[in-house]
């Protein structure tokens, strides 16, 4: 009889708490933000122009880091909506980042991020896939796999909080952090 009471309590608790879930319906701007993504991706020159026109810090298009006594800029890698594969222009950015990171002897953390669309669980998994895609590209370009760790922030680490396609595009990214 005591077991029945415990099971009833557990079932009631599960039913009452449920899962946190967001509305995943989107407007056309969120799904069709490829033109916005193209603006963020560019061919490297667009990101360079953004770097020159904006004050750059760790919450924008990348981070500055000291590697082998030199200040270098490691660009963020951006992804299309609901994707974790690298576009050709983002593959070039990972190649450039790998060249800069080849002189670094410490550990590298790749952080995967998502926009706000989808459940927390889905975005956590997608962020991890994005981080892994960047890690795989860095390894293919000569960075030791043992020196790279992955983390997913899902949607919890936005660089932009406006409710529009341009902002969501900025949040679909992977970033690099250098660890001692």
pLDDT one-digit tens code per residue, 1-22:
555 455 555 454 444 444 333 3
Comparison of pLDDT for 140 and 49, the residue scoring more:
140
Interatomic CA distance for residues 16 and 45, integer angstroms: 52
Q: What is the pLDDT of residue 110?
A: 98
Residue 161 has pLDDT above 90, yes or no: no
Walk me through the domains of the chain, giving residue ranges and CATH numbers: 25-179 (3.30.1330.60)
Comparison of pLDDT for 92 and 18, the residue scoring more:
92
Q: What is the pLDDT of residue 167?
A: 83
Question: pLDDT grade, residue 41 (50/70/90)?
Answer: very low
Residue 125 has pLDDT above 90, yes or no: yes
Interatomic CA distance for residues 8 and 91, integer angstroms: 53
Interatomic CA distance for residues 110 and 75, integer angstroms: 12
Instruction: Tell me what the pLDDT averaged over the chain comes to.
Output: 76
Question: pLDDT grade, residue 59 (50/70/90)?
Answer: very low
Residue 124 has pLDDT above 90, yes or no: yes
Q: What is the pLDDT of residue 84?
A: 95
Q: What is the pLDDT of residue 160?
A: 87
Measured CA distances, 43 to 47, 91, 97, 104 (Å): 8, 11, 14, 25
């Amino acid at each position: 009889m005591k077991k029945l009471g415990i099971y009833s309590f557990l079932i009631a608790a599960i039913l009452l708490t449920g899962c946190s879930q967001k509305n995943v319906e989107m407007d056309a701007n969120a799904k069709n933000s490829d033109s916005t993504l193209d603006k963020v991706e560019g061919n490297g020159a667009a990101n360079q122009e953004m770097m020159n026109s904006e004050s750059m810090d760790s919450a924008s298009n990348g981070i500055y880091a000291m590697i082998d006594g030199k200040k270098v800029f490691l660009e963020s890698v951006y992804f299309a909506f609901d994707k974790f594969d690298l576009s050709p222009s983002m593959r070039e950015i990972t190649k450039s980042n790998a060249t800069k990171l080849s002189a670094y002897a410490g550990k590298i953390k790749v952080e995967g991020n998502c926009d706000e669309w989808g459940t927390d669980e889905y975005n956590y998994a997608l962020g991890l896939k994005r981080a892994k895609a960047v890690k795989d590209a860095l390894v293919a370009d000569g960075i030791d796999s043992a020196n790279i760790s992955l983390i997913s922030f899902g949607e919890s680490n936005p660089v932009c909080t406006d409710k529009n396609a341009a902002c969501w595009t900025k949040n679909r990214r992977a970033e690099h952090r250098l660890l001692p």
